[in-house]
Structure 1
Amino acid sequence: MDSLYNATDFNATNGTNVSANSSDDFNQFIQPVWQITLWAVAYCSIVAVSVVGNMIVIWIILAHKRMRTVTNYFLVNLAFAEAAMSAFNTVINFAYAVHNEWYFGLVYCRFHNFFPIAAIFASIYSMAAIALDRYMAIIHPLQQRLSSTETRVVIGVIWMLALLLTFPQYYYSSTTVLPGRTVCYIDWPEYTTVDFKKIYYVCVTLLIYFLPLGVMGWAYTAVGITLWASQIPGDSSEHYKEQLIAKRKVVKMMIVVVCTFALCWLPYHIYFLLHQFFPELFEQRYIQQVYLTIMWMAMSSTMYNPIIYYCLNIRFRAGFQQVFCCCAPTAAKEELELKSPRYLQTQVSLYRASRMETVVSTAVHPAEKKSAELPSCDSHGRPHAEVMSNGSGSETFTRGPSNPSH
């Protein structure tokens, strides 16, 4: 994530040859205090919502066994990447963009230049893995699914590829002191026959944006045709209908997640490529505001997913309510969604047994039914305690007329 404010061109052949008036060139980007304050609030809000929301998502999945599915393991990886990028790069990016000076040393300069691209790579390929998993589960349901161990291996491979892709950003990162300020930049080597910098950034844009989005678009199109083109048969079992509706909801939620990510990052990638091929466009006074706006949109993508999960998934909603409003009226009802399947089956069995008992009790002889409805008292007029027929040990009392002698 090469910053806009990397000063003038640096290269390996002429070293750090910078004009003495370079500091004056950046005076046009100085903003009034009120403007900086508004931007600071906007960027800090991203960090707060993203870190808190994504950490809760990770807790909901890892703390509840029923949530530990292949799809949700990739959601954990997605949440981790977004929370980390938000925590370690959002505010630093903003401070560097506003003040045009690097305060954080060479080590963090290298981390700052390579980690955001690695996190974006991990995020979008986690979403691509979810899309392919949904495709296999729905289009090829008889094929063997990924196990939890295989899912962890895939996540590890994603991060290894991300680090390999971003290694040049780390290797060529450097800091230098200009008149009045220090800058963090990428000191790309200069070749006579090929522009390595432009080729690298074009490849990065293709690999972390257009290629995975194309794969996800193809996968979700096929899945959508399968799930929505066919109608649910009228004589289908309730279990089949519930499964189909649940699959549709998961796919719908992931499509919203992918579209949100794509819309947030599209302006940044366009800006990024234009900056490589038409650098003269970025010498205007207004360009800093454009950059801050585009960067805010890109960074804000890290905070939307927890909100989407809360709105579109009942289990995640129950998990968030357990954290923020455990006394909410709906939390107790939705909390069942976080219980284990064995618990839910037990509740269904008890419900069916209760319904069966009700049906049997209404089929008794009318005389017996009438007798059962009359008050039953002992010789002293006290009500009897009757054990219910299901052996639950519950007691039902019928109050008879009181004995005046007591």
Structure 2
Amino acid sequence: MAATQNGSNITANYTNQFVQPPWRVALWSVAYSLVLAVAVFGNLVVMWIIVAHKRMRTVTNYFLLNLAFSDASMAAFNTLINFIYATHGDWYFGEAYCKFHNFFPVTSVFASIYSMTAIAVDRYMAIIHPLKPRLSATATKVIIVCIWILAVVLAFPLCFFSTILTLPRRTICHVAWPRKTDDPFMYHIIIAVLVYLLPLVVMGITYTIVGATLWGGEIPGDSSDNYHGQLQAKRKVVKMMIIVVVTFALCWLPYHIYFIVTGLNKLLIKRKYIQQVYLSVMWLAMSSTMYNPIIYCCLNSRFRAGFKQAFRWCPFIKVSSYDELELCTRRLHPARQSSMHTLSRMETSMVACERRR
């Protein structure tokens, strides 16, 4: 996805005009390394929290697991290679990886944003139509598989037409479209619509309706004694997912604008400053892979407890009894039981947690 444009930027240049001074390369190296480290490690921790704790295996969290996997994969396989290629303008990694490098980002981003869309639709059904059947674990896994199949189909042209081209002084990785006049721009428009605009519209509509229900009225069909506790819990989940979606949208917006503008005005890609613009928008897009673990940790008590467990080896991280309970058993609402009963359940849960270790 990124290498496609980078390759087309420099195809016509037989000498490498994009060589940067060492200090600038060092600064960009630090920026991209930060994204790589935080995204891969943070998303791996998120995956461990969901897989290792039975309480975390919910419909929403299965989609978050898929989101974390796609983000970690893109950060691991594309971020560093994108940076090296965009910085030096020379492809060092062979034709097979050129095909994968152009193919996988579109696949990964598709899987990410449609996982978010699936969560939005699931939240909509759970809150607006609470009496209708919810997704089962099996149905959720089928949806995730379908998302990846559609992602592969959408990105397949990039894999099929990608190739390397050896120039007198360097090698480039680019997509050799059959008709070079219209195909690249039209394909990027299709990508922008299917992988950005359409899912954001769907999520915008669903979260607007859900938000109006949660913050402006009562939840349909909910008249239970612990109504306010359930309402607060649902608000927290929706708030977290809205922040995830908005972060994704802001990170990828400049990237899609860049492709559209350079597609309409091809003279821009011959400007030397375009390399710094490209590195900036690409860093922002790649950085979208590292924010979600931070958002989960800050806004969700169970994920925060999981991160504390993962980092309990740090001297300044303390795992409390409350953190242990967050991932071992369901919390009981104060209105539903006495203090003595709560204490008894907490003691039982702590014993269960200790046996798991």
- TM-score, structure 1 length as denominator? 0.78
CA 1:178/1:72 → structure 2, altered by over 3 Å: closer, same or farther? same
Q: Partners in 1 of 2:91 and 2:251 — Cα distance?
A: 26
Q: Partners in 1 of 2:156 and 2:170 — Cα distance?
A: 27
Aligned to 1:54: 43
Measure how far apart 1:132 and its partner are.
0.1
Q: Partners in 2 of 1:320 and 1:8 — Cα distance?
A: 42
Task: Say if 2:127 is the partner of 1:138.
Answer: yes
- What does residue range 305-316 of structure 1 map to in structure 2 within 5 Å? 305-316=292-303
Query: Between Structure 1 and Structure 2, whose CA radius of gyration is higher?
Result: 1
CA 1:350/1:228 → structure 2, altered by over 3 Å: closer, same or farther? closer
Q: Partners in 1 of 2:146 and 2:310 — Cα distance?
A: 33
Contact 2:39 2:75 (C-alpha < 8 Å) held by counterparts: yes
1:225-271 CA distance string (max 9 Å, x none): 11000269xxx765221111000000000000000000000000000
Measure how far apart 1:114 and its partner are.
0.6
Task: Say if 2:266 is the partner of 1:265.
Answer: no
- 1:23 counterpart SS class: coil
Amino acid at match of 2:131: L
Q: Which of the numbers 149, 168, 176 marks the counterpart of 1:187? A: 176
Contact 2:35 2:75 (C-alpha < 8 Å) held by counterparts: yes
CA 1:353/1:162 → structure 2, altered by over 3 Å: closer, same or farther? closer
Q: Partners in 1 of 2:300 and 2:342 — Cα distance?
A: 30
Task: Say if 2:116 is the partner of 1:127.
Answer: yes
Identity of counterpart residues, as a percentage? 56
Aligned to 2:324: 335
Structure (1/2) with the larger helix percentage: 2
Contact 1:65 1:340 (C-alpha < 8 Å) held by counterparts: no
CA 1:104/1:336 → structure 2, altered by over 3 Å: closer, same or farther? same
Measure how far apart 1:329 and its partner are.
4.0
Measure how far apart 1:349 and its partner are.
6.5
Q: Partners in 1 of 2:279 and 2:342 — Cα distance?
A: 62
Measure how far apart 1:197 and its partner are.
2.5
Q: Partners in 2 of 1:226 and 1:132 — Cα distance?
A: 14
Q: Which of the numbers 13, 25, 44 marks the counterpart of 1:36? A: 25
Amino acid at match of 2:44: M
Q: Partners in 2 of 1:59 and 1:207 — Cα distance?
A: 30
Aligned to 1:23: 14
Amino acid at match of 1:296: W
Q: Which of the numbers 287, 295, 301 marks the counterpart of 2:288? A: 301
Aligned to 1:213: 200
Task: Say if 2:303 is the partner of 1:325.
Answer: no
Q: Which of the numbers 352, 371, 385 marks the counterpart of 2:340? A: 352
Q: Which of the numbers 216, 233, 253 marks the counterpart of 1:246? A: 233
Aligned to 2:73: 84
Q: Partners in 2 of 1:323 and 1:229 — Cα distance?
A: 38
- Higher alpha-carbon deviation: 255-264 or 37-46: 37-46
Contact 2:71 2:108 (C-alpha < 8 Å) held by counterparts: yes
Amino acid at match of 1:61: I
CA 1:355/1:295 → structure 2, altered by over 3 Å: closer, same or farther? closer
Amino acid at match of 2:6: Y
- TM-score, structure 2 length as denominator? 0.89
Q: Partners in 2 of 1:65 and 1:214 — Cα distance?
A: 33
- 2:7 counterpart SS class: coil
Contact 1:336 1:344 (C-alpha < 8 Å) held by counterparts: no
CA 1:171/1:355 → structure 2, altered by over 3 Å: closer, same or farther? closer
Q: Partners in 1 of 2:2 and 2:32 — Cα distance?
A: 18
- 2:166 counterpart SS class: strand
Q: Partners in 1 of 2:267 and 2:322 — Cα distance?
A: 60
Aligned to 1:6: 7
Amino acid at match of 1:224: G
Q: Partners in 2 of 1:31 and 1:309 — Cα distance?
A: 37
Measure how far apart 1:355 and its partner are.
8.8
Task: Say if 2:117 is the partner of 1:98.
Answer: no
Aligned to 2:157: 168
Measure how far apart 1:335 and its partner are.
2.1
Q: Partners in 1 of 2:129 and 2:148 — Cα distance?
A: 27
Aligned to 2:353: none
Contact 1:57 1:76 (C-alpha < 8 Å) held by counterparts: yes
Amino acid at match of 1:6: G
CA 1:238/1:273 → structure 2, altered by over 3 Å: closer, same or farther? same
Measure how far apart 1:340 and its partner are.
2.6
Output the aligned Cα RMSD. 2.3
Which runs of 5 or more structure 2 residues have no equivalent in the other structure? 345-357
Q: After the TM superposition, list the runs of 4 or more consecutive aligned residues in structure 1 that deviate by more than 4 angstroms.
A: 7-10, 353-356
Aligned residues: 336
CA 1:90/1:162 → structure 2, altered by over 3 Å: closer, same or farther? same
- 1:6 counterpart SS class: helix
Which runs of 5 or more structure 1 residues have no equivalent in the other structure? 11-17, 357-406
Q: Partners in 2 of 1:98 and 1:9 — Cα distance?
A: 12
CA 1:31/1:246 → structure 2, altered by over 3 Å: closer, same or farther? same
The answer to which structure, 1 or 2, has the higher relative contact order (CA under 8 A, 6+ apart) is: 2
